[in-house]
């Protein structure tokens, strides 16, 4: 019970916080997109999916391979440990047209930021609700929100997030 609560707290807190920081940092770097979102709040659900794709908060998860498989000509034997690079998959040009462009109107956006398969994020619906609330309320209540200084990143390459994002109204 205790470890389940710890998992829910850790899994539920950090990724949502980082999605929020990374997302606002992406919006500040793309003022045309931020202006479009401010002008049309109905864009928000799509915008959140795109912000999650564009700057993926959980970059890497590992798996142990249960059967011999081959992916794109590369054999991967049973028992191997593989690192799944969600951030890289989210910028795959074979799946996302113009993947390095932030496009809040992107429609076909099957990003992997919540993972896939049996370990697909248990909290995805809650995370989407939290993100819609935090982005929606900040857009509504702080329409002049702007960046004060370039942010610093936390160390590490698995969890991608900012140490802080200094803003003013
Ligand atoms: C934007 C926010 C979030 C992101 C980007 C995110 C991302 C992920 C990813 C990528 C996985 C798959 C891990 C794997 O493949 O091994 C995962 C699993 C999980 N997430 Fe989230 N998550 C978020 C929010 C939440 C929230 C709010 C909760 C719960 C309150 C939560 C609970 C979990 C749990 C329990 C798992 C493990 C599921 C399993 O192994 O079966 N997550 N999440």
The model's pLDDT over 27-51, given as tens digits with 9 standing for 90+, comes to 999 999 999 999 999 999 999 999 9
CA of 19 to the centre of ligand 1 (A): 12
Distance of CA 74 to the CA centre of its chain: 28
Query: pLDDT band for position 8 (50/70/90)?
Result: confident
Closest ligand 1 atom to Cα of 18: 1
Fold of domain 2-57+100-168: Cytochrome p450 (1.10.630)
Which residue has a Cα nearest atom 11 of ligand 1? 121
Which residue has a Cα nearest atom 18 of ligand 1? 121
Mean pLDDT of the chain: 96
Strand partners, 58: 159
pLDDT single digits (tens) 142-161: 999 999 999 999 999 999 99
What is the reported pTM?
0.95
CB 27 within 8 A of CB 130: no
Q: Residue 56 gets which letter from DSSP?
A: -
**CA atoms within 13 A of residue 96's CA, in its CB half-sphere:** 23
Which residue has a Cα nearest atom 34 of ligand 1? 122
pLDDT at 167 over 90: yes
The answer, yes or no, to whether any atom of ligand 1 lies below 6 A from the CB of 96, is no
pLDDT single digits (tens) 96-105: 999 999 999 9
């Amino acid at each position: 019970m205790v470890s389940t609560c710890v998992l829910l707290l850790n899994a539920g807190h950090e990724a949502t916080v980082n999605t929020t920081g990374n997302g606002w940092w992406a919006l500040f770097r793309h003022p045309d997109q931020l202006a479009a979102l401010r002008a049309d709040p109905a864009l928000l659900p799509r915008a959140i999916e795109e912000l999650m794709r564009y700057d993926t908060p959980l970059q890497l998860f590992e798996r142990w391979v249960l059967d011999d498989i081959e992916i794109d000509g590369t054999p991967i034997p049973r028992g191997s440990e593989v690192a799944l690079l969600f951030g890289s998959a989210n910028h795959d040009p074979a799946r996302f047209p113009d993947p390095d462009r932030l496009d809040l109107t992107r429609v076909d956006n099957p990003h992997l930021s919540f993972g896939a398969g049996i370990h697909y994020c248990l909290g995805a619906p809650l995370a989407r609700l939290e993100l819609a609330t935090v982005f929606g309320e900040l857009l509504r209540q702080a329409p002049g929100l702007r960046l004060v200084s370039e942010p610093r990143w936390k160390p590490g390459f698995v969890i991608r997030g900012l140490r802080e994002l200094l803003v003013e109204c």
